[in-house]
């Protein structure tokens, strides 16, 4: 009788220990590894059941399904968070690209305008090509040169005008010298007066 009780006690202890060890192994396994590994573990730990019609079913413990569901949802939420973060990064990079494109277009427009201005000249408020500007300038120079030669010819052929011009120039020079002398005297007088006033104020 004692032997029977002892045997039953040993069997119960062994059963409880085996059950606890199996439960610990199950908990550790379903809480570790990837979702794929956890699904494979659940499938491996499922049991077969056939109904009266011979239809086969896989029976999975409810607590394992709840744990697997929670892990799957956590994984999906983490993936969604990463996806949202990636979308934010992509949107930020797209905005930066758009800004770079806008700045590039502005730079290209500025460069084109600079090249156009470099290859052209502004004359009387109008934009002209360098060749047109050069032709116009040389034409003006030619006209002025012809006019100068004409006036020189006329000047040489008119002694009276030449003498009158020299006399007028001499008179103008004399008047300029006289005017300059008077201006210098006035300037010196004003300086002396200013210095006198300064001396009065300082005294």
Q: What residues of the chain score a pLDDT lower than 70?
A: 1-29, 115-128, 155, 159-162, 203
pLDDT computed for residue 14 by the predictor: 52
Report the alpha-carbon distance of residue 177 to residue 135 in Å, rounded. 44
- pTM listed for this prediction: 0.36
Return the closest-CA partner of residue 42 out of 50, 30, 51: 30
Residue 123, SS3 per DSSP: strand
Confidence at residue 18, expressed as pLDDT on a 0 to 100 scale: 52
pLDDT of residue 159: 66
CA distance 183 to 176: 10
């Amino acid at each position: 009788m004692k032997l029977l009780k002892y045997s039953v006690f040993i069997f119960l202890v062994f059963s409880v220990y085996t059950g606890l060890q199996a439960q610990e192994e199950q908990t550790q396994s379903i809480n570790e590894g990837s979702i794929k590994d956890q699904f494979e573990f659940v499938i491996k730990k499922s049991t077969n059941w056939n109904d009266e019609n011979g239809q086969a079913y896989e029976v999975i413990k409810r607590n394992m399904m709840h744990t697997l569901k929670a892990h799957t949802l956590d994984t999906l939420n983490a993936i969604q968070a990463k996806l949202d973060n990636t979308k934010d990064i992509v949107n930020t990079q797209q905005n930066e690209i758009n800004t770079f494109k806008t700045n590039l277009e502005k730079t290209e427009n500025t460069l084109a305008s600079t090249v156009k201005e470099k290859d052209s000249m502004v004359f009387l408020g109008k934009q002209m090509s360098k060749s047109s500007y050069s032709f116009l300038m040389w034409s003006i120079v030619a006209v002025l040169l012809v006019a100068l030669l004409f006036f020189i010819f006329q000047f040489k052929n008119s002694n009276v005008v030449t003498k009158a011009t020299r006399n007028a120039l001499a008179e103008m020079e004399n008047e300029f010298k006289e005017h300059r002398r008077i201006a210098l005297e006035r300037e010196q007088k004003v300086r002396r007066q200013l210095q006198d006033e300064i001396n009065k104020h300082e005294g």
